[in-house]
Structure 1
């Protein structure tokens, strides 16, 4: 056996070990849908606030509850769609979807995400709305980066972008809504499209 054959075998073994310890069934399509849901949710939120008689994005009373419901529906639709697409893709690839790696992935993702969600609810309850968008982007980005070690792909780069946008949002709170739209809507669609093209190749 030649040295080239040895190197090829070693590369294949390394690839198998890498895939066995990482969750590989993520789909770019799920990211695209998440971005679309975020854009729809943002449009609804903008409509609600504009028609509340205010010309700036401050949430209170009935509008505040409607915005929270809107965000919850965006998150729910994104999660349900991601589970459906990921499960279908895993079956097509003939790989297990629920195993120890999946558990580690979910824990790595949910711990910073839930922590951020609770903190955001606390400051919203204190009627501090200015940094909500920034915090959502930052904690979501941290969750993606934290979970990236259990996925194959470039999801950590999306996480870095979300964190960067969150910091920009903190510096420019007056543009928080639009930066949120860019982070959760546009960036998801761009990243999902990139991953979908990569999958088809």
Structure 2
């Protein structure tokens, strides 16, 4: 049987078979974390084909949607600390993906704008993210995908409510996301239901 003929729902030899067999009652947090890691690894491999660093993906995605943000706005939308954003933007600027500009109406505020090179990456990279989502969702019914989406959104809302009730600040959560490597899943904001 060729690799393409295998049922995509069956665990492949050498993969995370333990999720189905050894650890069938594992906590949801671990399942979600490993799923996100799988998405990330798959997208990283595709970004490398175009010499784009995985850490730049999130910033590019945001700027493709809303060019001209400040560094702080970009940090907030990416869910990472400002020093991390500054470092990434500096590298992305040296690669010719973006420029930083002071606007005439506010000389103190620096805005981030994509260059033609940075904007052109969208046509190359977004299809890669769509591919990752297509691969991840192969063999899963439309109904199960819709139920999973509803469930994950409800979990996000529940956890946000818990965070708000506990009085945690946005700075704490941004630093936590940056330190634990959380990232947006491939294609989530650019492709509607593709994620």
| TM-score, length of structure 2 as denominator length | 0.30
- Structure with the bigger RCO (C-alpha within 8 Å, sep 6+) is 1
| TM-score, length of structure 1 as denominator length | 0.29
